[in-house]
Amino acid sequence: MTDADDLTPNIPEVVAEIRALFERYEQALVDKDVDVLDATFWNSPHTIRYAMNEMGYGFDAIHRHRVNRKPGTRFKGERRRLEILTLGRRFATVNLEFQVAGSDKIGRQSQTFVNFPDVGWKVVAAHVSATDGQPSW
């Protein structure tokens, strides 16, 4: 079996690698470190990032939003739940549930990572949204 065929869930060292990339990205959001933010995402017209005030279709659109975003914007309050799923050494998802800062809303964030042979782990799709109050389940 090749790495591409291996879908073993949550290999500990792969989970640790994704967690580190996620935490680096989260800090870069706070710091408005556009270089780190850009380095996290796949530089492709196929990359998508939906956020509260963004419909980023393609790396260039995502980059433009990052550059124009005001520094010091704190959207996320307390983390409620962080879920990381890796499948083999090529695919991972990160899902975060958080309290929206200064609000009763619950925020949700997801990122889909692919480990490309030439550039390493990159986010190919991401989403951030908020919902009113508690989930209904």
Strand partners, 83: 95
What is the Cα–Cα distance from 110 to 105, expressed in whole angstroms?
17
CATH classification number, 12-131, choose in 1.10.10.10, 3.10.450.50, 2.40.50.1020, 1.10.15.40? 3.10.450.50
User: By C-alpha distance, which of 82, 67, 102, 64 is closest to 23?
Assistant: 82
pLDDT in tens, 10-67: 999 999 999 999 999 999 998 999 999 999 999 999 999 998 888 999 999 999 999 9
> How many helices and strands, by DSSP H and E, does the chain display?
3, 6
Mean pLDDT of 111-130: 97
The yes-or-no verdict on residue 120 having pLDDT over 60 is yes
Q: What is the pLDDT of residue 95?
A: 98
Yes or no: say if 78 and 102 are a contact pair by the CB < 8 Å rule: no
List, in order, residues 6 or more apart from 110 with CB less than 8 Å away: 93, 94, 95, 96, 125, 126, 127
User: Could you give the dihedral angle defined by the CA atoms of residues 2, 24, 93 and 116, in that order, rounded to the nearest 10 degrees?
Assistant: -30
pLDDT in tens, 60-80: 999 999 998 876 666 788 899
What is the Cα–Cα distance from 137 to 126, expressed in whole angstroms?
24
What is the Cα–Cα distance from 46 to 41, expressed in whole angstroms?
11
80's enclosing H/E stretch is strand 76-87
What is the Cα–Cα distance from 32 to 13, expressed in whole angstroms?
28
